[in-house]
A and B are shown apart, each in its own frame.
Chain A
């Protein structure tokens, strides 16, 4: 990651924060919804795309973050509640990751699926903490003793956190720890042979991923003002997975692009439906859109939108490495590179 890339990302963050801050609430909402989803997708991509640990518990982990932040925030912890959410969720994520020390692949994925349902069940039954099925009404986030009461201010906060998350994770992927994740993803046997402590690497991935999932949940709770179990069902895990597949497995930038795509697609289809005289039909199509998209991406561009755009750019620029970028997609359905951590 070059200084130029960081500056470009910073410029984009400032640009979108400025647009959101100066626009109406609807646009502000769309921008921060993408930013929040982007933080969640970054966290999931770290675990699946970089470390190869397939999980279906992301929705519930975001829920843990939301409830933790709601409880801390309602107790008057202000901005610290974001940190609380991150830490609590990181610990829960580590707990969910424990079976990964013994299980691999599909078997581990099934154990995370169980964790997803168990956590949502806890949200429903831990009445004194979560207010059960009624959900917990969340007070506005207070920063520096002042409540954040409007969507425009949330845009700035969410984009700032997204940028910092992206920057932090991009740095992590360049460290020994990040490289260990990649080796573990490719082959645990090889990783052991190289002297990598596989269990430790996995635990680190779960902790880091959980922390950012918690931050995502906290922002979700503060912006929606309600943490209720229905919002963190398996559908949220599916949405998050769709984001990283569409954006690009093993690509941090792709996570954000995928989050934007998946978050904005329903709105785009809705507007198209209003424009055309077949609103009902288009609305129903929206439900199928994610499924179709995932199938299309898996078939045609398993490395996601980011790789697709890079390939196009390489072609346009007549760069010699265009064919090299294309070759892995044709030969394998797996994203085998970390797409340079970008």
Chain B
């Protein structure tokens, strides 16, 4: 019994004494799990803040405590991590991952009044009036689809097929776009809707059905593994990869690497600059890479780097307004950072995207089309605004 009481006392002491840091930023992603292919978004944010610590001594002379955690794309795990970040770590900003977690936590986030950047592009989590503490970092899935539709309309195309996976990520944006009437407004015609299993290993039958509709564009709302299956089976059915357009999560070297010539002409929505291209933020990444290992060298890492810049700018401005010192009251600090995040105007992204204003909580809503040419994604047009 004595041991029991002692154990309880230790647990109570640990529970009552959360770790504190002046500036703690918490970011979680799928480090291990089904969508780990795009976890550069998490690494990028953590690495930018580490870069600030190394190159500038942090923000306003204070080192940033950066926590990068693995949500494993599991709702219960993400809910647990959120509580750890909000309560135990006293994070000033949290960068979450899945749409499910962002939805489950959306009321909680507003109650806790913690600036939260969601990795999801779902419009359901974006409402500055209703969810003033939730931000995203780019055009929603619907807006990405609209950008592709506008591009098709501008090029004189007519018939569209929307292909999507049988989960929220697939169905949600397609429903929103259909109900908005934008397809008809652009003078296009929706000739077919094709749903397929999220883990489908063969979609040849669907491709034969699509071929019979003779489309000018097949927009796929799916992840990279699904796109690989779709393009492979499209080739079997005699459909050219040039007809296919995917969203920003389909800019993956895995597509040309695994499919070779069958991927030539495939297009995807490019919302951020490519890793390795010539732009100012890339110089920072290169500088960081001299002393550190960059885990993911892709466009998602660049997105993560941009989020890091946004977070750092908001924190820096909040500290400036507080007289150059990190506010000791975490609640006031969080609110100040949220306000500063929302106040970012013509924010210089270091060339990752065109400059943006964050009042709408989503930042840049511009994108361009990138096409696989010679096994490499190449931009084939100018930035298109989704609005």
Chain A residues engaging chain B, CB cutoff 8 angstroms: 15, 19, 22-30, 33, 124, 132-135, 137, 149, 151, 224-226, 228, 230-231, 266-267, 270, 280, 283-284, 286-287
Residue of B nearest to A36 (CB): B76
Residue of B nearest to A23 (CB): B15
Give the distance in Å from the alpha carbon of A283 to the alpha carbon of B15 in the complex: 24
Question: Is A26's CB under 8 angstroms from B84's CB?
Answer: yes
Question: Is B171's CB under 8 angstroms from A133's CB?
Answer: yes
Give the distance in Å from the alpha carbon of A133 to the alpha carbon of B170 in the complex: 9
Give the distance in Å from the alpha carbon of A230 to the alpha carbon of B169 in the complex: 12
Question: Is A283's CB under 8 angstroms from B32's CB?
Answer: yes
Q: Kindly list chain A residues whose C-beta atoms are within 8 Å of the C-beta of B167.
A: 133, 230
Question: Is B83's CB under 8 angstroms from A225's CB?
Answer: no
For the complex, is B346 an interface residue (Cβ under 8 Å from A)?
A: no
Residue of B nearest to A139 (CB): B107
Contact partner of A25 (CB less than 8 A), chosen from B83, B100, B166, is: B83
Q: Known: A15-B8, A267-B80. Is A230-B100 also a contact (CB below 8 A)?
A: yes
For the complex, is B11 an interface residue (Cβ under 8 Å from A)?
A: yes
Please encode chain B, from 362 to 387, with 1 for each CB lying within 8 Å of some chain A CB and 0 for all others: 00000000000000000000000000
Give the distance in Å from the alpha carbon of A276 to the alpha carbon of B277 in the complex: 35
Question: Is A19's CB under 8 angstroms from B87's CB?
Answer: no
Question: Is B80's CB under 8 angstroms from A24's CB?
Answer: no
Classify the secondary structure of B's interface with A.
helix
Q: Kindly list chain B residues whose C-beta atoms are within 8 Å of the C-beta of A151.
A: 83
Chain B residues engaging chain A, CB cutoff 8 angstroms: 4, 8, 11-12, 14-16, 18, 31-32, 69-70, 72, 75-77, 79-80, 83-84, 86-88, 100, 103-105, 107-108, 111, 124, 166-168, 170-172
Give the distance in Å from the alpha carbon of A132 to the alpha carbon of B170 in the complex: 12
Q: Kindly list chain A residues whose C-beta atoms are within 8 Å of the C-beta of B87.
A: 24-26
Question: Is A134's CB under 8 angstroms from B84's CB?
Answer: no
Question: Is A283's CB under 8 angstroms from B31's CB?
Answer: yes
Question: Is B75's CB under 8 angstroms from A134's CB?
Answer: no
Q: Kindly list chain B residues whose C-beta atoms are within 8 Å of the C-beta of A133.
A: 166-168, 170-172
Give the distance in Å from the alpha carbon of A316 to the alpha carbon of B71 in the complex: 41
Give the distance in Å from the alpha carbon of A226 to the alpha carbon of B105 in the complex: 9
Contact partner of B100 (CB less than 8 A), chosen from A23, A28, A226, A280, is: A226
Question: Is A283's CB under 8 angstroms from B100's CB?
Answer: no
Question: Is A19's CB under 8 angstroms from B79's CB?
Answer: no
Q: Kindly list chain B residues whose C-beta atoms are within 8 Å of the C-beta of A132.
A: 168, 171
Question: Is A230's CB under 8 angstroms from B15's CB?
Answer: no
Contact partner of A26 (CB less than 8 A), chosen from B4, B83, B111, B170, is: B83
Report A206 CB to chain B, min CB distance, Å: 26
**Known A33-B76, A137-B103, A225-B105; further 6 A-B contacts with Cβ < 8 A:** A24-B87, A33-B80, A226-B100, A231-B75, A270-B69, A286-B70
Q: What 10 pairs between A and B have smallest CB-CB spacing?
A: A23-B15, A226-B104, A25-B87, A27-B15, A133-B168, A26-B88, A24-B87, A26-B83, A29-B83, A26-B84
Question: Is B70's CB under 8 angstroms from A270's CB?
Answer: yes
Residue of A nearest to B98 (CB): A230
Q: Known: A24-B87, A231-B76. Is A287-B168 also a contact (CB below 8 A)?
A: no
Q: Kindly list chain B residues whose C-beta atoms are within 8 Å of the C-beta of A286.
A: 32, 70
Question: Is B104's CB under 8 angstroms from A224's CB?
Answer: yes
Classify the secondary structure of A's interface with B.
helix
Question: Is B79's CB under 8 angstroms from A29's CB?
Answer: yes
Q: Kindly list chain A residues whose C-beta atoms are within 8 Å of the C-beta of B166.
A: 124, 133
Residue of B nearest to A266 (CB): B77
Report B334 CB to chain A, min CB distance, Å: 15
Q: Kindly list chain A residues whose C-beta atoms are within 8 Å of the C-beta of B107.
A: 225
Q: Kindly list chain B residues whose C-beta atoms are within 8 Å of the C-beta of A280.
A: 31
Give the distance in Å from the alpha carbon of A22 to the alpha carbon of B69 in the complex: 26
Give the distance in Å from the alpha carbon of A26 to the alpha carbon of B170 in the complex: 32
Residue of A nearest to B172 (CB): A134
A-B contact pairs, 6 of them (CB 8 A): A15-B4, A23-B11, A24-B18, A25-B86, A134-B168, A226-B104
Contact partner of B12 (CB less than 8 A), chosen from A23, A29, A149, A267, is: A23
Residue of A nearest to B16 (CB): A23
Give the distance in Å from the alpha carbon of A27 to the alpha carbon of B31 in the complex: 23
Q: Kindly list chain B residues whose C-beta atoms are within 8 Å of the C-beta of A19.
A: 8, 11-12, 15
Give the distance in Å from the alpha carbon of A326 to the alpha carbon of B66 in the complex: 49
Report A252 CB to chain B, min CB distance, Å: 20
Residue of A nearest to B100 (CB): A228
Report A154 CB to chain B, min CB distance, Å: 12
Question: Is A225's CB under 8 angstroms from B12's CB?
Answer: no
Q: Known: A24-B15, A26-B84. Is A135-B32 also a contact (CB below 8 A)?
A: no
Q: Known: A23-B12, A225-B104. Is A135-B168 also a contact (CB below 8 A)?
A: yes
Report A286 CB to chain B, min CB distance, Å: 7
Report B12 CB to chain A, min CB distance, Å: 6
Q: Known: A22-B12, A133-B168, A135-B100. Is A224-B83 also a contact (CB below 8 A)?
A: no
Give the distance in Å from the alpha carbon of A132 to the alpha carbon of B174 in the complex: 14
Give the distance in Å from the alpha carbon of A151 to the alpha carbon of B87 in the complex: 11
Report A37 CB to chain B, min CB distance, Å: 9
Report B104 CB to chain A, min CB distance, Å: 4
Q: Kindly list chain A residues whose C-beta atoms are within 8 Å of the C-beta of B172.
A: 133-134
Question: Is A224's CB under 8 angstroms from B69's CB?
Answer: no
Q: Kindly list chain A residues whose C-beta atoms are within 8 Å of the C-beta of B70.
A: 270, 283, 286
Give the distance in Å from the alpha carbon of A29 to the alpha carbon of B72 in the complex: 18
Q: Kindly list chain B residues whose C-beta atoms are within 8 Å of the C-beta of A226.
A: 75, 100, 103-104
Question: Is A224's CB under 8 angstroms from B124's CB?
Answer: no
Interface centre among B84, B105, B108 (most CB of A within 10 A): B84
Q: Kindly list chain A residues whose C-beta atoms are within 8 Å of the C-beta of B171.
A: 132-134
Q: Kindly list chain A residues whose C-beta atoms are within 8 Å of the C-beta of B15.
A: 19, 22-24, 27
Residue of B nearest to A220 (CB): B76
Give the distance in Å from the alpha carbon of A33 to the alpha carbon of B81 in the complex: 13
Question: Is A287's CB under 8 angstroms from B32's CB?
Answer: yes
Q: Kindly list chain A residues whose C-beta atoms are within 8 Å of the C-beta of B11.
A: 19, 23, 27
Q: Kindly list chain A residues whose C-beta atoms are within 8 Å of the C-beta of B69.
A: 270
Give the distance in Å from the alpha carbon of A230 to the alpha carbon of B15 in the complex: 31
Give the distance in Å from the alpha carbon of A32 to the alpha carbon of B76 in the complex: 12
Give the distance in Å from the alpha carbon of A63 to the alpha carbon of B366 in the complex: 40
Question: Is B88's CB under 8 angstroms from A24's CB?
Answer: yes
Report A240 CB to chain B, min CB distance, Å: 13
Give the distance in Å from the alpha carbon of A225 to the alpha carbon of B107 in the complex: 9
Q: Kindly list chain B residues whose C-beta atoms are within 8 Å of the C-beta of A283.
A: 31-32, 70
Give the distance in Å from the alpha carbon of A33 to the alpha carbon of B84 in the complex: 14
Q: Kindly list chain B residues whose C-beta atoms are within 8 Å of the C-beta of A29.
A: 79-80, 83
Give the distance in Å from the alpha carbon of A267 to the alpha carbon of B362 in the complex: 32
